Amino acid sequence: MNKPLLILVAGGSASGKSTVVQEILEKAGLDDVLIIKHDDYYLDQSTLPLEVRYQTNYDHPSSLDNRLLEMHLNQLIKGQSIEKPVYDFVMHTRSEQIEHIESKPVIIVEGILILENEQIRELSDMNLFVELDDDTRFIRRMLRDMKERGRSLESIIQQYEKTVKPMFHKYIKPTKRFADVIIPNDRRHDIAVDLIVTKIKQILGERK
């Protein structure tokens, strides 16, 4: 197996990272792709009381087990399989479920803070940052958290004001400087996507 192509995709919460990734994959004609959510590497909190877990700042770099992710990415790059954790956002800790993951020719890791860690960046072939204005991201996040995570509107607003917004400007937005391409998701971004697709095909072609 040739060395997999590793792509990191960052951007604020609910900026549309997954949608943009799917658009890139469709235009590139890629289907043998492994997509990993950085969210699954939030630290295990099973030893903490639930009321303490509720206070977790998920937008701070210290909330993530990047050492484990780095180890797993190194294994995948070598063509090895991994046992990936799964995070439970209802219980605010890691699920007992574990996913067996096989390496694939293209590996994409999505996450708000995925470009913050230098060791993980060094493993990457391509870094992308999806950009969307704050108001639209908040509305999308609110609807998602209420529907998919059973959150109340009050708790979503409180978390957004306390951690999500300030952490975005302190830790997430500054990682744009590590991106090879910044994708504006509040307007058409065909040219950016086409450039990314061309580069992906070039790298994959060189590795055959």
pLDDT tens digits, residue range 50-63?
999 988 999 999 99
Distance, CA of 84 to CA of 94 (rounded, Å):
11
Model pTM? 0.92
Distance, CA of 170 to CA of 119 (rounded, Å):
20
CB neighbours of 5 closer than 8 A, spacing ≥ 6?
A: 105, 106, 107, 125, 126, 200, 203, 204, 207
- Its CATH class, for the domain covering 5-196, is alpha beta
Q: What is the pLDDT of residues 15-61, one digit of tens each?
A: 999 999 999 999 999 989 999 999 999 999 999 999 999 889 999 99
Residue 207 pLDDT level (bands cut at 50, 70, 90): confident
Q: Where are the domains of the chain?
A: 5-196
